Amino acid sequence: MKFLIQIYFCLIGFLIVCQENVQWQAEVSDRNEKLVSIQITAEIEPGWHLYSAQTPKNAGPIPIAFEVQKNRLVKIKEPFVEKTKAIKKFDANFDSDVYIFEDKFLGEFKVKSKKDTILSMTVTYMICNEVMCLPPIDETLSIKLDTNE
């Protein structure tokens, strides 16, 4: 029994460490009197990759998805777009062609804000290497929108 408990804690520790393989950030990249551009960036550890929304739904992996939490002071004017060009490759983990991002990811969407507020969003993604995949991960990002800047 003691051996099984040790294995359990090793696996949990491994999963926690692996979830640090992607560092996410949200920032205001451009602002004019009508729209605020928000960029979402990810730094991906070498050997790991994320899946693009271009990946066919029946391929198996969970692609990157963004959900902006409702905020009555903010309206999304242009939906989320992947700015980084995805790489098409055969993924042996899923036995199909997929679109991935390695090293870095950049995406953007545009909003209009009536007043200063905090905008929160959730990014859902799956990360894999050549041997294994981790379960889908939800990461919450927040950004301050200042109408006076």
Angle (nearest 5°) at CA 91 between 88 and 129 = 105
Return the pLDDT at 138. 96
pLDDT, residue 18, reads 47
pLDDT band, very low/low/confident/very high, at 107 (cuts 50, 70, 90): very high
Closest CA to 139 of 26, 14, 15, 9: 26
Mean pLDDT, range 62-90, rounded to an integer: 93
Q: Give me the pLDDT at residue 64, please.
A: 95
Class of domain 24-145: mainly beta
Tokens of residue 28, six digits: 């205001």
The rounded distance, in Å, linking the Cα atoms of 73 and 115 is: 6
For 12-71, write each residue's pLDDT tens digit.
445 544 457 999 999 998 877 778 899 999 999 999 999 999 999 888 899 999 999 999
Q: Residue 15: helix, strand or coil by DSSP?
A: helix
How many Å from the N-terminal Cα to the C-terminal Cα in the chain?
60
Indicate the pTM of the whole model: 0.79
Question: How do the domains of the chain map onto residue ranges?
Answer: 24-145
